């Protein structure tokens, strides 16, 4: 998150994008003092958390407890490596949850067709039912088609909206085997019978920095945007 892109750390790019959303408050949660110091240096409010968390959702649960957010507060989790996450999508996922008061979690996806992405384990796929509730998330291509690639795949965007009360509940749920095998925290909620609302994103989600190739692509894209 401290990797340099165009003279700024990756984290700062994510923070700048988040500040353009309709959020009442932007916080950076971390267990790393260097990240916290860097965040404060560019003007962000930072909350230090335990090093024991196994997921970003568990980390958010600690922040909710520390700061005493009311249970109905909608919290949006933007991952620190999601460079260029548009404010429009932050607003979209928050609005989705706000408009569905019976639900506890919402997230976004986007259709994809590139075979390399479909088979890339760093690109998480999601399938959902007719009510837009997630059925499963996987690093493998889902749905599987015995005769080759299926006709339609959706890439999961690493962006969640939660109710603060649910985050307290989530941190008390035991981790499940599926979550650990796939290394996907959202599977804990599905395993324990909690709905995750899924909606197609209304714009591109930008670049998630998972590999060296992603980093180089982000740097090139940033250069092209900044050209006069």
Q: Are 116 and 182 in contact (CB under 8 A)?
A: no
CA distance 132 to 227: 40
pLDDT at 223: 67
Mean pLDDT confidence for 117-124: 93
CA distance 16 to 199: 24
Question: For 9-38, how does the pLDDT look when each residue is reduced to its tens digit (9 = 90+)?
Answer: 889 989 999 999 999 999 999 999 999 999
pLDDT at 228: 44
Tally of domains in the chain: 1
- Domain extent, residue 46, equals 4-226
Handedness of CA 188, 190, 193, 196 (dihedral sign): positive
pLDDT at 219: 74
Q: What is the pTM of this model?
A: 0.89
For residue 8, pLDDT over 80 is answered with yes
Model confidence band, residue 76 (pLDDT cutoffs 50, 70, 90): very high
pLDDT at 215: 74
CATH number at residue 23: 3.90.550.10
Residues facing residue 136 across a β-bridge: 127
């Amino acid at each position: 998150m401290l990797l340099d892109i165009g003279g700024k750390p990756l984290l700062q790019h994510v923070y700048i994008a988040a500040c353009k959303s309709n959020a009442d408050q932007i916080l950076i949660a971390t267990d790393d003092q260097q990240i916290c110091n860097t965040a404060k240096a560019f003007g962000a409010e930072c909350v230090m958390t335990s090093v024991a968390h196994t997921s970003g959702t568990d980390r958010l649960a600690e922040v909710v407890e520390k700061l005493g957010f009311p249970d109905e507060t909608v919290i949006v989790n933007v991952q620190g490596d999601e460079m260029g996450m548009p404010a429009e999508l932050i607003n979209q996922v928050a609005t989705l949850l706000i408009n569905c008061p019976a639900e506890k979690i919402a997230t976004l996806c986007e259709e994809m067709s590139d075979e390399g992405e479909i088979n890339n384990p760093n690109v998480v796929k999601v399938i959902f039912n007719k009510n837009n509730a997630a059925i499963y998330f996987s690093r493998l291509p889902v749905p599987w088609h015995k005769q080759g690639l299926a006709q339609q795949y959706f890439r999961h965007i690493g962006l969640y909206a939660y109710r603060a009360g649910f985050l307290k509940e989530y941190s008390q749920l035991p981790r499940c085997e599926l979550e650990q095998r796939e290394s996907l925290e959202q599977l804990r909620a599905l395993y324990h019978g909690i709905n995750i609302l899924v909606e197609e994103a209304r714009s591109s989600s930008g670049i998630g920095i998972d590999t060296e190739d992603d980093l180089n692509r982000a740097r090139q894209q940033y250069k092209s945007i900044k050209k006069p």
